[in-house]
A and B are shown apart, each in its own frame.
Chain A
Amino acid sequence: MTDTTAAPSSPSAPPRPSGLAALVRHGRYVIAENKVTGFAFGLFIAIVLAALIGPYVVPYDPLASDTAAALKGPSLAHWFGTDQLGRDVFSRVIVATRLDFFIAIASVALVFLMGGLAGVAAGFFGGWTDRIVGRIADTIMAFPLFVLAMGIVAALGNTVENIVIATAIVNFPLYARVARAEANVRRDAGFVLAARLSGNSEARIVLAHILPNIMPIMIVQMSLTMGYAILNAAGLSFIGLGVRPPTAEWGIMVAEGAAFMVSGEWWIAFFPGAALMIAVFCFNLLGDGLRDIVDPQRRT
């Protein structure tokens, strides 16, 4: 937990060490108090491990088909059974972690850059910047988000990169609003006035003084939307967008197994679906836990 809470503040200008230490202490306290967050953190480590080393340790090649062993239920040889081409479902579920995790991380990082910067600029400068950012956010919010994501991927082209972009765009309003509100309260804060008096440019004030200050809130926002990002991406690939077969990805694996659900071969769709559910569950719990650390007042 120490690493995760410390990471946000370290890349920016040196923060107050006492504040950081206090945050870590508070984090440790929350973990000890809240077993659920600790559990979620353990799950998170497992997911990261699966994404990092999964492809090297799985027992079978995720793409190798073996028609003789097709559609076999879970057994000792194939823990999660085999699919219609005889591919090992367990290996495919583990290998898919990397792609799904990558899509979530990449889209969250992208929307942080777009929405976070736009929101900070809107909150800090106000006026036209604020109006334009607000109008863009409102327009995006006028669409049902998944439907807009479908339209974007279909228009930009059917690739994984465009899934990342679409997921980032539909999350833009959330980030822009949080960043705007946080920057807006700090706009005339003492440290901003001091920075301005010492001759910092406005751009520097925004990037080096405001942004590091709202980082904790933004990190919470990121971990809260990670789950939604994965769900959104898996949903898109479930309807046939982005990831193409035979790539191992949770959404497309559920789609491939869907037809077998009605004939009783439940394991093909169940295990990737369960992996997806556990990952989303873990991110949501972790997001709630992080929010408790950073912003205890919003605890529900």
Chain B
Amino acid sequence: MLGMLTKRLMLALPSLVGVVIVTFLLTRALPGDPAAYFAGPAATTEAVEQIRVKLGLDKPLIVQFGRYVSDLARGDLGQSLTTGQPVAQELRTRLPASAELTLLGLIVSMMIAVPLGIMAATRPGSLIDHACRVVTTAGVSLPVFFTGLILVYVFYYLLGWAPAPLGRLDVFANPPPTVTGFYLIDSLVAGDGEVFWASLKQLFLPALTLGIFSLAPIARMTRASMLAVLASDFVRTARASGLSPYTVVVTYAFRNAMIPVVTTLGMVFSFLLGANVLVEKVFAWPGIGSFAVEALIASDFAPLQGFVLTMAILYVALNLVIDILYGLIDPRVRLDA
């Protein structure tokens, strides 16, 4: 197991190097003079010159890259022009909000998509199979910001069930004392049922939006791989040996069918992390996505660069976790490593 872990870590290394190089090149590709860009529009020529020396932009590209990497190693992502705060700190305080939302969105979509895919595969041609096909085709066509707005209109304006789409808690509630940064967990730790309920209400619509968005690939993959597994010899043998349909589907087929589904999770995460930005904008969610959007509007590049880098590192890490999960589900992968 340890050998597999090190091997996977080594495989993730080139991706990380590529990510760092690309984010570095992105700043250097800024139109015009990066020093003038970082100094802001009101800066004088001397100020721009100072910034140039301070940022080391007068040095050759390779030296600049060295500086960038050593700054990164110290966790320094530069400063935000608009708030004056270090980008790394800002990202750290906002990350739990995004993570809580994304994970809950994934849980919602798994809870719907996996049973749907299994039911569609066990009853091909039935009503539920057709429903599954409609959901998977429609799901990939829905712009995630549009779904979010429709849900807001229906559940907030028309029905009044959901709270206003303005952040993680309404203005009168106090956030729970920070333990993990996840309000749902923190409020439970603090034993505050009221805050738990309030933050769950706020989370529900954005998480559902993300869930609907990522439903399609998971359901489609579950259905396809269940169909393939159910047609295989060992399932036929299990059936012929008189095992109950439940045992055959859940114990025998399901575990094998999950392997390709876990692989698709990598792609799903790529979409989810991107969609997260849009959903955060719709629901005024104070996560790293809306931080990046605010920075974009203010032409503040350092936060955006930090955001792209954080997202990419998260994504590489998630893929690593998926690889490890893959090994847990399928012992054959472990033997190969």
Instruction: Indicate if the CB atoms of B143 and A147 lie closer than 8 Å.
Output: no
B145 A144 Cβ-Cβ under 8 A? no
- Pick the interface stretch among B13-21, B57-65, B255-263: B13-21
Instruction: Tell me the complex Cα distance, A119–B154, Å.
Output: 46
Q: Is the CB of A150 within 8 A of B143?
A: no
Which residue on B lies nearest to A241, using beta carbons? Answer: B296
Interface residues on A, range: 35 or more
Main secondary structure of the interface of A (DSSP, over half): helix
Check: A115 CB closer than 8 A to any chain B CB: no
The answer to whether the Cβ of A107 comes within 8 Å of any Cβ in the partner chain is: no
Q: Is the CB of A147 within 8 A of B308?
A: yes
Q: Are B141 and A281 in contact, CB atoms less than 8 angstroms apart?
A: yes
Q: Does chain B have a CB within 8 A of A277?
A: yes
Instruction: List, in ascending order, chain B residues with CB within 8 A of A152's CB.
Output: 26
Q: Is B292 an interface residue (CB 8 A)?
A: yes
- A284 and B140 in contact, given A142-B19, A147-B312, A151-B308 (Cβ under 8 angstroms): yes
Contacting A at CB under 8 A, from B1-29, are: 14-16, 18-19, 21-23, 26-27, 29
Measured between beta carbons, the chain A residues less than 8 angstroms from B269 are 144
In the bound complex, residues from chain B placing their C-beta under 8 Å from that of A264 are: 153, 157
For B245-263 the 0/1 string (1 means CB < 8 A from A) is 0000000000000000000
Contact flag A263-B149 (CB < 8 Å), given A142-B312, A147-B308? no
Interface centre among B31, B143, B281 (most CB of A within 10 A): B143
Contact of A261 with B296 in the complex, beta carbons under 8 Å: no
Measured as residues with beta carbon below 8 angstroms from the partner, the interface class of chain B is: 35 or more
Q: A146-B275, A156-B29, A239-B281 are in contact. Are A300 and B152 (CB under 8 A)?
A: no
CA distance A227 to B149 in the complex (A): 20
Contact for A254 among B16, B26, B143, CB less than 8 A: B143
A238 pairs with B304, CB closer than 8 A: no
Taking a contact as CB atoms under 8 Å apart, the answer to whether B142 and A277 are in contact is: yes
Please, which residues of chain B bring their CB within 8 A of the CB of A281? 137-138, 141
- Is the beta-carbon distance between A262 and B296 smaller than 8 angstroms? no
Question: Which chain A residues numbered 18 to 62 have a C-beta less than 8 Å away from chain B?
Answer: none
Instruction: Please give, as numbers and ranges, the residues of chain B lying within 8 Å of A255 by CB-CB distance.
Output: 145
Q: Is B156 an interface residue (CB 8 A)?
A: yes
B264 an interface residue at 8 Å Cβ cutoff?
A: no
Query: A143-B315, A238-B281, A277-B141 in contact; A262/B146 too (CB < 8 A)?
Result: no
Quick check: is A125 within 8 A (CB to CB) of the other chain?
no
Contacting residues, chain B, for A254 (C-beta < 8 A): 143, 145-146, 149
By the criterion CB–CB under 8 Å, are B143 and A146 in contact? no
List which A133-147 residues lie within 8 A (CB) of chain B. 135, 138-139, 141-147
Question: Which residues on B sit within 8 Å (CB–CB) of A148?
Answer: 22, 308, 312
CB under 8 Å from chain B, chain A span 257-275: 257-258, 261-264, 266, 269-270, 273-274
What would 5 more interface pairs be, CB under 8 Å, given A235-B143, A281-B137? A138-B15, A144-B311, A146-B274, A147-B311, A239-B278
What are 11 A-B contacts defined by CB distance under 8 Å?
A139-B15, A146-B271, A146-B275, A148-B22, A154-B301, A155-B26, A251-B145, A258-B145, A270-B150, A277-B143, A284-B137
9 interchain residue pairs of minimum CB distance: A146-B274, A139-B18, A273-B146, A144-B273, A281-B141, A142-B15, A151-B308, A155-B26, A280-B141
